[in-house]
Structure 1
Amino acid sequence: MHSIKIGIIGLGTIGRSVAAYALERYASQIKIEAILVRDESRDYHLPGNCFITADEDLFFDRDMDFVIEAAGHQAVGKYGKRALQSSSFIVVSIGALAESNLLEELKDAALHNGRQIIVPSGAIGGLDRIAASRLEELQSVELITRKPPAAWYGTIAEDKVDLASVKEPTLLFSGPATESALLFPESVNVSAALSLAGIGFANTQVKVYVDPAISRNTHQIIAEGFAGKTEITIQNTPSQDNPKTGYIVAMSVIKVLLQQVEPFVIGI
């Protein structure tokens, strides 16, 4: 079985989890060539020796099959085209692709260099079915996201709701994914993934709630079209380090990487 070489941009909750999985469980299949951070002097508590640098040139000079963006929306636009010059680009901060022209620019770069932009399922599921359904008429796609109050601190939800005292489910947003993906970049990346798999940002309807009655980040997908009706409800365990995201996001990235090396692949 051959192995692949990766680079990781960002060592926050998701980047650190991806690195830990690669180092602890899949070292024979996934080799970390480099990690790009803002401050290389910090101790990132990784279970192995990695080349960690704040120098972009040193990072991109490494030989990497895949570069994984795990540093937020700004990093997608800042590093995407450079990554695609020599590597395929795995995007975690999918909501960035709602920004005008960025997706097309990255697609052009990928095509020119013979590379791919890869979007893991992340915190959502069923994207394989939604993407397949799009081959015929897909009439409607709706996403209903509910998260507990702790997941909304540090977002614009604090301007809309008193998170410390909210007693019942409260609607934060209702409208197209074009708006939700940009208003809630850390918390509603799932709407962007669903839009890209299905009928686009403008036609994907999103509702977002703060819900004090739940402890898991919950996403409900309702889609209908030629192939039938799809209803999926997902409850993700929030990360202890960052309740805005779930453990499943890093696991989804690792799944994508393992699909490049394993002899049997299912669910793509």
Structure 2
Amino acid sequence: MMVLKVGIIGYGAIGKDVAQYIREKKAGDAELTALLVRSKEKYQELEQDGYIVCDDEQAFFQLGLDVIVENAGHEAVYQYAEKALLTGSDFVVVSVGAFADAQLLDRVQKAAEQYKTRLILPSAAIAGLDRVAASMFNTLDEVKLVTRKPPNAWRGTIAEDKVDLDTVAEPVCIYKGTARESSKLFPESTNVSAALSLAGIGFDETKVEVYVDPSLKKNTHQIIVKGFFGEAEIKVQNTPSADNPKSGYIVAMSICKALKNLTSPILIGI
């Protein structure tokens, strides 16, 4: 079985965890080959470990990588998604909310079709995407996401304009609307709504509610789906990453599960 040459764009909390799981041989027959970062001088220890560290995107995309993993934010999706697919790499996207831009999604999809590559959207912070996607084979009437996170998870976001994160004493709804809008307003916190939209009935029909909830210690997502198949309600509670409380440890785990699927003889939950 071939070994996948993997590149990572961004080396924050998620990127570090993905790299660690790959090193521990938990991501199937995947091998971390290279990283694309803003300044390679900060990562000399990685070069000493035998990885190629690039701050030149042209050099990175010429390495013949099998899979490229993005975990650097929406701008990185705009900047690199098409390029990755056009140069023959599958592209694993964490910042799925970028695809609320319909034109971007169309361009990326066409690039994947033209070059026989794949855009891969892991479940990341939620569960049940397989159920939602399967439900689309018949009528799907409602898809709703309710996201609740503790105050610290909202620092540095527009939530600070809506509620005092230092003194909030009870749950406060800071947004109610559609996935298309929420994906843009809360790019680091509601990428899950974008993934849910792409699996199901679309950005404009997927309902979203977002709460600051001081009673919580974990980031919580509740998915409600109703349709011909029946009804499903899924609730997940994710332990926030110590390095980035806006995200959770499960995101890197989900990415590595997707990488493992690419070389595994047994596929579960597809």
Deviations 1:28-72 (A, max 9, x none): 721112110001011376594311110111100102111111110
CA drift of 1:157 comes to 0.3
1:4-15 mapped onto 2 (5 Å cutoff): 4-15=4-15
How many angstroms does 1:264 deviate by?
A: 1.1
Give the CA deviation at 1:99.
1.4
Distance (whole Å) between structure 1 residues aligned to residue 44 and residue 117 of structure 2: 30
Question: What RMSD, in angstroms, separates the aligned Cα atoms of the two structures?
Answer: 1.4
For 1:117 and 1:237, the matched residues in 2 are separated by: 27
Instruction: Report SS of the residue matched to 2:42.
Output: coil
Corresponding residue SS for 2:43 = coil
Question: What one-letter code is carried by the residue in structure 2 that aligns with 1:54?
Answer: D
Does structure 1 retain, via aligned residues, the 8 Å contact 2:28–2:259? no
Letter in 2 for 1:207: E
TM (norm. structure 1) is: 0.97
Q: Secondary structure at the match of 2:102?
A: coil
1:109-120 mapped onto 2 (5 Å cutoff): 109-120=111-122
**C-alpha distance after superposition, 1:158-196 (max 9, x if no partner):** 010000000000001000111000000001111101111
Match of 2:220 in 1: 218
Give identity over the alignment, percent.
Answer: 53
Give me the whole-angstrom Cα distance separating, in 2, the residues matched to 1:208 and 1:50: 40
Q: How far apart, CA to CA, are the structure 2 residues paired with 1:27 and 1:223? A: 30
Q: In the TM superposition, what is the alpha-carbon distance from 1:265 to its structure 2 partner?
A: 1.1
> What pairs up with 1:1-268 in 2 under 5 angstroms?
1-26=1-26, 29-43=29-43, 48-85=49-86, 86-268=88-270
- Partner of 2:111, secondary structure, is helix
Following superposition, the deviation at residue 83 of structure 1 comes to: 0.2
Q: Could you say if the C-alpha distance between residues 78 and 94 of structure 1 is closer, same or farther in structure 2, counting changes exceeding 3 Å? A: same
Give the 3-state SS of the residue equivalent to 1:8 in structure 2.
strand
Moved more, 157-166 or 28-37: 28-37
> Are residues 82 and 135 of structure 1, via their aligned partners in 2, closer, same or farther at CA, if it must alter by over 3 Å?
same
For residues 28 and 161 of structure 2, what CA distance do their matches in structure 1 show? 47
Q: Which amino acid aligns with 1:148?
A: P
4+ residue runs of structure 1 moved beyond 2 angstroms?
A: 24-28, 43-49
SS at match of 1:140: strand
Contact 1:23 1:48 survives alignment (8 Å): no
Unaligned residue ranges in structure 2 (runs of 5+): none
Q: Would the alpha carbon gap of residues 244 and 44 (structure 1) be closer, same or farther in structure 2, given more than 3 Å must change?
A: farther
Letter in 2 for 1:114: K
> Where in structure 1 are there 5+ consecutive unaligned residues?
none
CA contact under 8 A between 2:27 and 2:257: conserved in structure 1? no
Can you list the C-alpha shifts for 1:210-246, whole angstroms capped at 9, x where unaligned? 0000100000011100000010000000000000000
